Structure 1
Amino acid sequence: MENDSLPIYPKVYPSAQIQKKMDSTTIPLTTQPSFNQVMAPTLLGPENSITVCQFCQASIKTSIKYTVTARTHIAAALCGLICCCCCIPYLSESAKNADHYCPNCHKYLGTYEK
């Protein structure tokens, strides 16, 4: 084994186009999506996003919960040094990450990092 430290994954090839010949004309037919094709990830922004839940398959508008990060603590420290009001970053949503959840099944969908 040449690459013992690297994991081996099966190669995923895009679905091939099937061609059907009818009276000397070629009509391309595409196959239906197979189980090995991956859907494009949903882009989640800082606000509620309209998407399809990957768990319950419902068309939803995501609900958001804001979480405090290291960036929030750094902004609070800088505000404390500049204007002695270190609570501003904790009260505003601009220095927090937005965690998106499905309102139907309440599962976590992703995070928008600021």
Structure 2
Amino acid sequence: DDDCLPSDLEGAVRQSSQASASFVNAGGMRAIVELLIPQLQFLDDEGAQAELWELSRVFIDTLIEETGCQRVKAIFPDTGAAALLKYKWKDAAFGFSSLSDRKPVEDEDEIVVMVVP
């Protein structure tokens, strides 16, 4: 039945986030969610990195909405990406960190999403 398949990439990301939220809501503690997006395989193509960041925002926002968690942290590959997105997304309902941070995760973080292109 194709009715449950999303019609676009953003819908697929949203659906994967909803499935992740169901896992968390059922008591799941650790999961790996891997999205293989062929059109973004070459991150040096113009706009590919920006699109990846926007899709990660869709994933995280949906996860927060579906779980109701208030302490969500997004960890990005480097300090520059984390700083840029924190500046760009001033209204984000989640925290920002990078893999190069001294302590990327705090004890009070309920959900941690690692965004790795």
Is the shorter-chain TM-score for this pair beyond 0.5, marking a shared fold?
no
Question: Which protein shows a greater Rg?
Answer: 1
TM-score class normalised by the smaller sequence? under 0.3
Q: Which has the higher contact order (CA 8 A, sep 6+)?
A: 2
Higher fraction of helix: 2
